[in-house]
Amino acid sequence: MRDDDGRRLDHATLQTIRIQAVRRIVAGESPDTVAQALGFNRSTVFAWVAKYRAGGLSALVARPVMGRPARLSEAQHNRLYALLVGARPHELRLGSPLWTRELVRKLIMRNFRVTLSDVSVGRLLHRLGLAPLRPLDQAMRANPAAVLRWKATELPLIRDRAAAQDTLVYFGAATEVRGADTMLYAGTAAGPLCFAVYPGTATRAMSRDFLDRLRSEAGGTLFLVTGEMVDELPWLHVYRLPE
């Protein structure tokens, strides 16, 4: 016998089975016999009978399962996107030059009085078009063999150079969002992604602004691995991802 309470069945099928079972029991069959015949445990069948006695057959009708309501309205989504494009966290008294999931979570709480988990914030950013793959993951998808060789030979040397200057290696990239704006983002191999969204297509001024902010985040000399063309700066060490 299947020890089952029916949660793996769709609602329409389960409704039919519930009604059939109760009708058989009302007609005189033993609940144990009905449970065994239908492949359900006896406690589940007894619960159906109790519902029937309390509310009739209507109590056995499947109720539609409502999805979790959206925590932010469409208008609030648009407002959030406008805030992320139009301002930097420190300009909104959130204490950092670049956005992270954690800062977006705080922004949502402060502006919309809604508390979201980091996972929910990630889903929301994905809906807004602001959840790109990490640059190293993108490179792995494009040419895994070359990236694996690079990780074994070049990346350790880059990390040694960065460690000698007491800093971390960042991986960065740019992507178009919503068909009109530009998102620049970077993060360490294990740390959160930092990002900024700029109106319009990518320009050198955007790149310089983002790198200045990332340097502030990193606290000094910046080691950046990227697939983008980046101008050399005195405090910037740029390394290309394998193509």
Is pTM, for the whole model, over 0.85? no
Q: Is residue 4 part of a domain?
A: no
Claim to verify: residue 145 and residue 111 sit in the same structural domain:
no
Domain around 238: 132-243
In tens digits, the chain (243 residues) has pLDDT values of 344 545 555 566 777 888 888 888 888 888 888 888 877 888 888 888 888 877 777 777 766 544 555 578 889 999 999 999 978 998 999 988 999 999 999 999 999 999 888 888 988 999 999 988 888 888 888 888 999 999 999 999 999 999 999 999 999 999 999 888 999 999 998 788 899 999 999 899 999 999 999 998 888 899 999 988 888 789 999 999 887
Q: Is residue 2 part of a domain?
A: no
Q: Is residue 77 part of a domain?
A: yes
For the chain, the residue count is 243
d(CA 196, CA 97): 9
Claim to verify: residue 188 and residue 160 sit in the same structural domain:
yes
Q: Is residue 5 part of a domain?
A: no
Question: How many domains does the chain fold into?
Answer: 3
Q: Is residue 15 part of a domain?
A: yes
d(CA 35, CA 3): 10
Q: Is residue 113 part of a domain?
A: yes
Claim to verify: residue 139 and residue 243 sit in the same structural domain:
yes
What SS3 class is residue 98? coil
Which residues are within 8 A (CB) of 89 and not within 5 positions of it... i.e. 6 or more apart? 95, 96, 97, 98, 99, 103, 107
